[in-house]
């Protein structure tokens, strides 16, 4: 259920981000000569929001049981992929700002896939079960809502700064 909530929240942030990217940049006083590039970057970046939310929720689940290493490994791998793809897309393919944003989305997708892999192969009770169990849905949904509130609180603080 936490993964479903993360996916739904990611899609919500994707749609919201696409709608408010330009108005927010205008409110912030972004110079005219870069606003179109900034909007392009944000539009591509927000396409990766479901990946980002899946990673964040999944990493929170792993951290809640004391496993801080595997989420860190995901970030390290994602960071290296992001840096390499930035160089490839900007220098080789000349994609400029779009290349940087695409590299970020791909790296976020890799981290989401890795965290799902770790959760699906977890031996303890927190693993993602491949079958849907109706009898557990209520308790899991309550846990997912709490995690959802926490993640939105963190996102709000980051965007407010």
Which parts of the chain are beta strand (E)?
Answer: none
Cβ atoms 55, 7 nearer than 8 A: no
Q: For residues 10 and 128, which has the higher predicted lDDT (pLDDT)? A: 10
Taking the model in full, what pTM does it have? 0.78
For residue 133, name the pLDDT band (cuts at 50, 70, 90).
very low
Measured distance CA(119)–CA(129) in Å, rounded: 9
Q: Mean pLDDT across the chain, nearest whole number? A: 86
Q: Which long-range contacts (CB under 8 A, 24 or more apart) does 133-137 make?
A: 137/1
Distances (CA, A) of 77 to 32, 46, 53, 55, 81: 36, 21, 17, 13, 6
Per DSSP, the three-state class of 131 is: coil
Question: What confidence score (pLDDT) does residue 153 get?
Answer: 53
Per DSSP, the three-state class of 30 is: coil
């Amino acid at each position: 259920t936490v993964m479903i909530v993360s996916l739904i929240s990611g899609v919500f942030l994707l749609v919201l981000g696409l709608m408010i990217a330009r108005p927010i940049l205008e409110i912030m006083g972004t110079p005219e000569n870069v606003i179109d590039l900034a909007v392009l970057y944000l539009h591509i970046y927000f396409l990766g929001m479901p990946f980002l939310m899946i990673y964040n929720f999944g990493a929170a689940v792993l951290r809640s049981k004391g496993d801080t290493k595997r989420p860190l490994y995901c970030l390290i791998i994602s960071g290296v992929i992001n840096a390499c793809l930035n160089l490839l897309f900007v220098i080789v393919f000349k994609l400029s700002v779009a290349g940087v944003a695409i590299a970020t989305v791909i790296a976020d997708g890799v981290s989401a896939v890795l965290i799902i892999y770790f959760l699906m192969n977890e031996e303890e009770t927190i693993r993602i079960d491949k079958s849907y169990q109706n009898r557990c849905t209520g308790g899991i949904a309550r846990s997912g809502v709490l995690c959802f509130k926490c993640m939105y609180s963190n996102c709000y603080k980051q965007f407010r700064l």
